[in-house]
Amino acid sequence: MIGIVRFPGTNCDRDVAQWVHEQGDSYKFLWHLDRVADLSSFDALILPGGFSYGDYLRSGALAARSPVMASVREYAERGGAVLGICNGFQVLVESHLLPGALVRNENLRFIDDWVELETVSERGPWGENLAASPPTLRLPIAHGEGRFYASDSELNRLEERQQVWLRYVDNPNGSRNNIAGVLNEKGNVAGLMPHPERAIFSWMGSQDGRRFFARGGTKSHAGRG
């Protein structure tokens, strides 16, 4: 069972549900006001993309303070697998469950395009299938505040600790070190700006989104502390 966290303004929840279904998993939606005492029955949690709370203040800033995120934090601290996609990535960063910051694109414009990615780290439940042939992934992006930023010292730590998960082949937004996705120190929490759930059928333009679900991978990292 995969938990899909919804906020006001989330608009990729149904896409993620379809993505999960196509991998043979069941899912349940979790609402932003729900303070769930026990999430141990879930094999993983996914925070989808969208414009949570209308992206007021900063993208993900208000969602990070919603009641459900206290439950997500406890689940992650117990080793549960958590994935944030686009706005979900921003929420995890604003919640300090992932390092760095996501700021306005270098060209100050919203970017809706396809990108090529390379896998940097295979750590954790979300990266177990990504190093398989071919060596790069083709996924779509759609964001205005997707430029990954960190200080020089923090970037060095991320590189040394293998927390850089995915890197753009051709940097579309000015992200430092071409970073498209990162991991927490344990490797169980991951975030990326591209949308794997929008790349599961050939008619979409790519099926590379299917490679993010290693069979049994999320189950072995479920938060059952």
Which pLDDT value is given to residue 132? 67
pTM for the whole thing?
0.93
CB 216: neighbour CB atoms within 10 A? 11
Tokens of 109: 């414009």
Mean pLDDT of 81-102: 97
**Domain CATH number, residue 29:** 3.40.50.880
d(CA 196, CA 199): 5
Which pLDDT value is given to residue 133? 66
147 pLDDT band, cuts 50/70/90, is very high
Which pLDDT value is given to residue 125? 86
d(CA 223, CA 41): 8
Helix/strand/coil (H/E/C) assignment for every residue in the chain: CEEEEECCCECCHHHHHHHHHHCCCCEEEEECCCCCCCCCCCCEEEECCECHHHHCCCCCCCHHHCHHHHHHHHHHHCCCEEEEECHHHHHHHHCCCCCCEEECCCCCCCEEEEEEEEECCCCCCCCCCCCCCCCEEEEEEEECCCEEECCHHHHHHHHHCCCEEEEECCCCCCCHHHEEEEECCCCCEEEECCCHHHCCCHHHCCCHHHHHCCCCCCHHHCCCC
Which pLDDT value is given to residue 6? 97
Is a pLDDT exceeding 80 seen at residue 225?
Answer: no
Q: Could you tell me the CA-to-CA distances from 157 to 133, 161, 181 in Å, in that order? A: 28, 6, 15
Q: Which amino acid is at 79?
A: G
Mean pLDDT of the chain: 91
Cβ atoms of 184 and 163 closer than 8 Å: yes
Enumerate residues 6+ apart whose C-beta is below 8 A from 224.
40, 78, 79, 80
CB 219: neighbour CB atoms within 10 A? 14
Distance of CA 80 to the CA centre of its chain: 14
29 pLDDT band, cuts 50/70/90, is very high
122 pLDDT band, cuts 50/70/90, is confident
Mean pLDDT of 27-52: 91
Range of the domain at 62: 2-221
| Residues forming the active site | 86, 195, 197
At 153-196, the pLDDT tens digits run: 999 999 999 999 999 999 999 999 999 999 999 999 999 999 99
Which pLDDT value is given to residue 218? 53
Domain count, the chain: 1
Mean pLDDT of 200-222: 75
Which pLDDT value is given to residue 55? 86
86: left (phi over 0), alpha (psi -120 to 50) or beta: left
